[in-house]
Each structure stands twice: as C-alpha cells, then as structure tokens.
Amino acid sequence: MNIPFRWAALFAVAACSLTGWAEAQTFSSANYSNPAITQGYRPNYSAPPVNSTWAAYGKESMPSHATPHVPTHPNTHPGHTDPSVLSYYDTPSSDCYSLTGPGSEEAYCGPMPLAPLNSRCGWFGSAGGLVMTRDHENFLPFSYATSNEANQLVTNRDAAFDVAGGVEGRFGRYFNCGQSSLEFVFWTIIPGTQSYQLLGSDVAGDLNGIYNWDQLNYNGNTADAFVNDAMVHRIRRSYEFQNYELNWNTYLTPQGCGALEVQGIAGFRVFRFGETLDFGADTVDTVFTGDPAEIHYNIDVDNRLYGFQLGTLSQYRFSPCWSLNTKILGGLFANDISHRSFIGGAAGTAVVNNGPNNGTPFDVAGSDTSFALMGELDFGLTYRPTCNWQIGAGYRAMGVSGVALASNQLFFDLRGVNDVATIEKNGDLILHGGYFNLSYNY
C-alpha cells in the first residue's frame, strides 16, 4: 500500500476543507443586517412573483402608489448610500448579480439589494462534457528482440489512452429558501479499446516473450512455442470510468453578502474503475482470428468504490456576471474488487507443467474488499448571462488510492497461480483534465 500518497492526499483534503469552513465563520452576523429589522413593514411593498423575470426586480416593477425612499445615515460616506436602509425599489435593473449598491464601491449585506447570484428556487440541472487523461502505472514489458535483449518491447503503456472524452450531468432541487440543495451527479469517461502490435519482421532477430512461458503447456506443446519467434505480438487494453454522487449542499455564508460564498458538501458517492489488459502472440500469421495457434494472457479487474465524502465549494465573484470556483472533496470508501487472470486461447487453458502447482490451469478468479481513499479538486470559471442560465468550464483532478490495477496482477513466474490469486490492491489512479457545462434553473 502506498502509505505516503494516501496520507498526503488525506491531509491535503482535510486541510483545504477546514480552511473553507474556517473562512465561512468569518462572516459574522455583525456584517449584515436583518431585513425584518432594518426595513420594517411597508404596506406599499410589492414583491415580484416566484420565478419572475429580471424585469420584476427593476424599478419598472414598482407599483404606481409606491414612492422610493432612500433615507440617509449619519455614518455613510459622502456620496454613498447606507445599504442597510436601501429601499427595495432602489435596486438597479441588471442581468447579473451586482456586488455593490447604488453609489457604493463596496459589497454589502442587508436586505437583498438585487436578485441572488442565481435563481435559488425550484429545480436545476446541467449537462456538459469532459476531456481527461490518467497517470501512467508501473512499466510492464512483454516482449524483446533476440538481437538486443535489453531492448524491451510491447509494454502496457503502448496501449494506454492519452486523452478520452466523456459526458457529465447534474440534477437537483433547492430547499430552505435556497440555502440548501440536494444534487445528483453523474459522469463517465469513454476511452474505448486501445491497441498496439509489433510485427516480427520489424525487429532484428526473433520476437520473443519475456516471461517463462516454457513453464506452461498449451495446445499439445509448451507455451513458449506459441510466443517465441512470433509473427506478431499485440497488447490491447480497455477501460471503464463511471461516477455517481448524491450530495447535500448548504451555504455556510449569507446569500449575497460579499464577493465570497462558501458551501459545505456532504454526500454519498459510487465510483467504478475497470480495466482489461490482453497480451497476444501468433507464430503463424499477423492477424488475430481466434485460431488455436494464438495464445493470450488476459487480466481483468473491476473496482467498485462506495463511501461518504465531505467538502466545500467556494465561489468568488470578481464581476457582476463572472465568478471563480474551487471545489474540494474527500472521503473514505469501501472498494469491492473482482479479478480474473487467464492464459490460453481457442485450444483451451494453459496448464502449469512443474512445481507445486503442477497440473493447475492458469485461470484464476477472485474478489476482495478493502479500504480506499478518494479526493477531488476542481478549479472553474462561471459566467451567468441571465438569472436562470450559467456557463461553466474548468480543470478537475481526482486521485484514488487503494485500487487494483491490471498491471499489478501479473506475477513474473507463470507457475505462481497461487500468487496471482492474491489480489494486489495497492495501486493509485489519477484522472485529470478539463470540463465544460451549461446549467439552467427552472
């Protein structure tokens, strides 16, 4: 188990989350006013209807019998208006949330002088795309040329994906006058199948396999007869990444008070990561057709993580329509792992031909459950052209420690089927890349 990586990741997530919560506590009630106290009851007040347009927030929505009233305050600076006594009708009409009041250069709280940052009521949803890549796992070669045995060929990294696209969707509902929301999140990356092959005619000498294939029997001969002096060696890999979340989000800072807003996040998450690695050799021709003369070493692993996560989402509005976002998530998960390793082909399963496991078929399957850590960090930029619409883009990095990787399940002595049966679950996975989305509140 990679202890330093796990504890470093956990410490970073915990420190950043505590920082966000600490920032939220700096917003004392002394920094904002209670509308019920500062405004009082005004019989001529006419609130806009629910889900009304932005026009309803402007002066044009003022009833004919109402008279704007902006009393002065002895503590206000010359030329400024005390926000705590602003009339609702002194709100400037705008398509975005304003950080300052009429004639003021500073953000303020009190009776909401403009519509919220977004329309925090009812339902909301978003759709978008992802473009991500993953870190390289341990280097694992399968082949070499007899002219230079130090030159290792056909490796697991030859079939790694560089960049893969995906989709993302979110759906939820606001509660408690927009202070809280329940949100469902789904995203997936679709790398497809990656493949690389090397022809024997492209190397000097013979194209041979690295491992001790002669310790196995296959199709009436030792397995090295189907791997060494090959016409072709091929590596194929496939991947699956799926993410599901159900989060409860709560604002830790008053709505519309200052440029910074912080939300606390608590939720349940399911993450699936699966991969298949297949090494194939053919000594007859260069095309894989499922012929008995072909032999394959296939490793398949599936990780399903279930657990709870905590985090924060901080939004800093640096202009009326633009904001910078930082989200930090981290949690402890149970990883339900399944694994299968197989050597053979159309002629059947290869069998160990000596040692303690003599006569044992090389077809090993098993499952295990262990703990895993997961952390996520997002940096994003959001643009709000209207009250209901917003456009976002950013960078996301996600790390998982305590997963089973296909490359880690290979035991170099092919007689060791008992060792292969023990699932190696100390691998690390890092996904990172860009995302974009379009959101609507209705």
Task: Kindly state the helix (H) or strand (E) to which residue 301 belongs, with its residue range.
Answer: strand 294-317
Rounded to an integer, what distance in angstroms lies between the CA atom of residue 246 and that of residue 307?
A: 11
Q: Mean pLDDT throughout 395-411?
A: 94
Confidence at 293, pLDDT banded by 50, 70, 90 = very high
Q: Mean pLDDT throughout 222-251?
A: 96
Contact 142/235 with Cβ under 8 angstroms?
A: yes
Whole-number pLDDT of residue 263: 95
Query: Which candidate, 133, 226, 190, 136, places its Cα nearest to that of 407?
Result: 136
Residue, of 343 and 30, whose pLDDT is higher: 343
Residue 164 has pLDDT above 60, yes or no: yes
Rounded to an integer, what distance in angstroms lies between the CA atom of residue 60 and that of residue 303?
A: 58
Q: Which residues contact 177 (CB under 8 A, 6 or more apart)?
A: 120, 121
Tens-digit pLDDT profile for residues 261-278? 999 999 999 999 999 999
**What CATH code would you report for 119-441?**
2.40.128.90
Question: If you compute the radius of gyration of the chain from its CA atoms, what whole number of angstroms results?
Answer: 30
Structure tokens at 340: 């299968």
pTM of the complete model? 0.74
Residue 88 has pLDDT above 60, yes or no: no
Whole-number pLDDT of residue 256: 65
Residue, of 378 and 10, whose pLDDT is higher: 378
